[in-house]
Amino acid sequence: MPAVEADGPLVDDELDALFAPLADASLIALAVSGGSDSLALTDCVTRWRRRRGGVPQALVLTVDHRLRRGSRREAANVVAIARERGMMARVLAWTGPPPQSNVEAAARAVRYRLLLKAAGEAGASHLLLAHHRDDVAETFVMRLKRGAGVFGLAAMRPVVSVGGLTILRPFLDVPRRRLVATTAAASLAPVEDAMNADPRFLRARVRRMLPRIAEAGLDPSLFADAARRLAAAADAIDAAASALIDEAVETDAFAVAWVDFRRLTAAPDEVRLRVLVRVLIAIGGEDYPPERERLDRLALAMAAHRNGRFKRTLAGAVVEWRAGRFVFYREMGRGGLPTMALKVGFDGVWDHRFQVAVGKDAPGGLTIGPLGEDGRRLVGAYAGNLPAGALAAVPAIRRRQKLLAVPALDYVAGGGEALPVTLSPAVAVRLRRPPLFPDFAVGP
């Protein structure tokens, strides 16, 4: 560790650099759990805003998971701290059933879904998270243990765009001890989450292990530096994958991806695998890549294929060989694809693959769901080399379970007028902008 590195609390002169991306913001949101790290964030933002005359406006968001006794009191304490410092505050309560397994991951997913939704609804331009350098090191070691590759080992990003919101982590170069010192200097009493020390959880075990590793000269800063270098490598691989996608992947009106076999197999291994991941994510809808072992098996099978029948499934997608190319389309799955009501004025996404807009003249009672095999046979759908399963997965508009329209096939029941419902495939957008590092929740 460099001898010049500071150990004490963060001082006012450091804050402008830490919060530079917020210089033009009008409203920011802070994720505050009540732990030492997020209270340090609260204190630093308070002091920074005070130096700027109280701008931008700040909204503190705290999530009450209701998984342990006293959580409501802790959330109320966060609200009080925020309001004492001139910030707005809101408690986001988890109202669903408690998870029966993998509690840490389930709580994390709910927490960030609630935070992103609340920050967006409030009109915030940024959501601030208090992850720090030790979090980066812990995540690196955890993913190393799980056999992660370049993308898994890459560091958390200081800035990540999610829709119209920017995730900002200003403390990624700051060690935990300085945030602890900052909270203490502000006379704030942090909440101690028992999960952070529970040896049942891998992060808690890694956290206890790192000081012993540091005694051997492997300071957390070294892991964090390695993660940052791997992030740069991941960006380079992703740029090469983007170029290959432009050359070798086509998408169509049915939200299907067609992949040029020769160009794909000629690419370096890591680039080829990244292209496969991005296609699978775009078609299958997962936010995370499939397990590396399963991905490798698919890649090897595709590389070994020469001609004839080929069909595999992975990560919610089906891969088939058609007319000299691999075709990727949505897997119907055991539970089928979603069906949802279409209300007048709706503008959103169905099954992550189609953008849907409902006009003001649309009749009531409309639903959108998969065409299905029965529907495909009913309309006599055929589209050249496209597999029947891909057609069954396209969206259909129904009313009281009666099939009215299949926009992708230009089908309208009875040959009548088209419904005021517009559908356009969104796969190409997701393919171009994959969720590089969707787990905003790494860290306690």
Would you say residue 437 has pLDDT above 60?
A: no
Q: What is the pLDDT of residues 9-22, one digit of tens each?
A: 999 999 999 999 99
Region 28-48: what's the mean pLDDT?
A: 97
Would you say residue 212 has pLDDT above 50?
A: yes
Residue 381 has a pLDDT of 67
Residue position matching structure tokens 């991806």: 257
**Whole-angstrom distance, CA of residue 108 vs CA of residue 139:** 14
Cα-based distances in Å from 156 to 20, 42, 117, 138, 231:
18, 21, 21, 11, 8
**Whole-angstrom distance, CA of residue 171 vs CA of residue 129:** 8
Helices (H), 219-268: 220-248, 261-266
Domains of the chain: 12-134+155-217 (3.40.50.620), 232-333 (3.30.465), 340-430 (no CATH)
Would you say residue 339 has pLDDT above 60?
A: yes
**Whole-angstrom distance, CA of residue 167 vs CA of residue 158:** 8
**Whole-angstrom distance, CA of residue 409 vs CA of residue 43:** 57
Q: Please tell me the least confidently modeled range out of 50-59, 211-220, 311-320.
A: 211-220
- CA 252 to chain centroid, in Å, comes to 25
Q: Please tell me the least confidently modeled range out of 51-60, 141-150, 263-272.
A: 141-150
Q: How confident is the model at residue 441 (pLDDT cuts 50, 70, 90)?
A: very low
Write down the mean pLDDT value for the chain: 89
Q: What is the pLDDT of residues 370-391, one digit of tens each?
A: 999 999 888 876 667 789 999 9
pTM of the model: 0.81
Residue 2 has a pLDDT of 44
Residue 88 has a pLDDT of 98
Between 380 and 8, name the one with better pLDDT.
8
Q: Please tell me the least confidently modeled range out of 172-176, 189-193, 344-348.
A: 189-193
Region 320-325: what's the mean pLDDT?
A: 92
**Whole-angstrom distance, CA of residue 443 vs CA of residue 44:** 19
Q: How confident is the model at residue 443 (pLDDT cuts 50, 70, 90)?
A: very low
Tell me the CB-side half-sphere exposure of residue 208, using CA atoms within 13 A: 10
Task: State percent of the chain over pLDDT 70.
Answer: 91
A 10 A CB-CB count for 350 gives 21
Tokens of 241: 């994958």
Q: What is the pLDDT of residues 259-305, one digit of tens each?
A: 998 999 999 999 999 999 999 999 998 877 888 889 999 999 999 99
